[in-house]
Structure 1
Amino acid sequence: MTSQDVEVHGVVTAPDTVRIERLLPGPVERIWEYITQSEKRRQWLAAGEMELFVGGRVEHLFRHRELSSEPTPERYRHFEESPPMLGEVTEYDPPRLLAYRWPGDNGESEIIFELFSEGARVRLVLTHRRLPDTETMVSVASGWEAHLGILVDRLSGQKPRGFWSAHAGLEKAYAEKFAAR
């Protein structure tokens, strides 16, 4: 598989912003639970409590080895036992909108989840903004895309795809896509 064979959904919408849209099996309340509830979020992203109000604390505890059966590549192993990463809720309008300072970079960037019902499906619009450079945008887009692929698998009742192999292909595809910036 080449990087041209990898489907990428992310687009650069501003010099410091990446947006990814995915159509997911609904209803919207179900997707909201997978974003806000620790036990459901740990199945595709990271566990951790979330205080669901503006100013509330967001905790992410990443354990990528739980996402699929693939071993973690050496260059990412330090994340396997990382301490909880903390952020703060900046916008909250359930079950339509959740935004928070991203725990992975001490709140320097912000993630926004927006949910839109489309019949039996839900359009998830994920925006990650205040990213410092193209290299970070590639990393963020490929990471989110790999995590969202696991979410799609979980929501569809399928065995989760290989997180790290998906991530590697996406990283190459996004590096090519964003190189023209």
Structure 2
Amino acid sequence: MADTLVADTITPQMLRFERDLAAPIETVWQYLVDPELRARWFMGGPTEAREGGKLGLTFNHQDLSDGEVPNPERYAKHQGKAWSETILKIEPPHFLAFTWDDGEAGEVKIELFAFSPDRTRLVLTHSRLRGAEDARNFGGGWGAHLAVLQKRLAGEPVENFWDLHAEAEKRAAQAVGL
């Protein structure tokens, strides 16, 4: 993943991840809103691409690695869990904002900026966290999922999602003193 910007801000109240992606903005946008493409790096599910619409999410993280990598015991109970969040604002192909846990665990905002015909800067901000534990949990998740997105767009393999998750969670925990 050469030439990719990695700028993370992690506090008990807010996460901000900035990544440069090896794809045009329209392609990156499809990875946000197309359920099948979103399932390759995050979670798939039906998308009502409008303000007030639902963003469906299904936890199938064992499918994020290219090989057979089972979910760790801590996450196995979530396998197959499906729910939806509310889209707060959508401006294709530049901006998507949605609730997390119906707003109980904050809001997620994803901004896309084209800075060349084949490169896109993604800025993800998860605000209104409930404290250091949220920062560690969501920091690990977003850090790992964005690493998978970078790899998918660059045509690189994803050997083990859960290794990426463990690394990202460790960085987030250190950032908030856990």
TM-score (norm 2): 0.89
Is 2:58 aligned against 1:61?
Answer: yes
Structure-to-structure mapping, 1:103-122, within 5 angstroms: 105-108=101-104, 109-119=106-116, 120-122=118-120
- 5+ residue gaps, structure 2: none
Q: Distance in 2 between matches of 1:121 and 1:8?
A: 14
Aligned residues: 170
- Checking the alignment, whether the CA contact within 8 Å between 1:55 and 1:89 is kept in structure 2 is yes
**Aligned residue in 1 for 2:70:** 71
Q: Residues 158-177 of structure 1: matches in 2 within 5 Å?
A: 158-177=156-175
- Aligned pairs for 1:70-109 within 5 A: 70-82=69-81, 84-102=82-100, 105-108=101-104, 109=106
- SS state of the match for residue 110, structure 2? strand
| Residue 110 of structure 1, CA deviation | 0.9
C-alpha distance after superposition, 1:98-150 (max 9, x if no partner):
10112xx2332111110001113100000111110111111111111101111
Tell me how far apart the structure 2 counterparts of residues 8 and 31 of structure 1 sit (CA, whole Å).
17
Report the equivalent of 1:32: 29
Q: Distance in 2 between matches of 1:110 and 1:174?
A: 18
| 1:150 equivalent in structure 2 | 148
> Which letter maps to 2:36?
E
CA 160–151 in structure 1, closer or farther in 2 if over 3 Å, else same: same
CA distance in structure 2 between the partners assigned to 1:8 and 1:74 by the alignment: 29
Distance 1:112 1:173 in 2: 21
SS where residue 51 of structure 1 aligns?
A: coil
Find the counterpart in structure 1 of residue 137 from structure 2.
Answer: 139
TM-score scaled by structure 1? 0.88
Q: 1:28 to 1:93 in 2, by over 3 A?
A: same
Aligned to 1:18: 15
TM-aligned CA deviation for residue 161 of structure 1: 3.4
Q: Per the alignment, do residues 34 and 148 of structure 1 end up closer, same or farther by CA in structure 2, a change over 3 Å counting?
A: same
How far did 1:153 drift? 1.2
1:8 is displaced (CA, Å) by 6.7
Identity %: 38
**Structure 1 segments of 4 or more deviating over 4 A?**
none
Any gaps of 5 or more consecutive residues in structure 1? 1-6
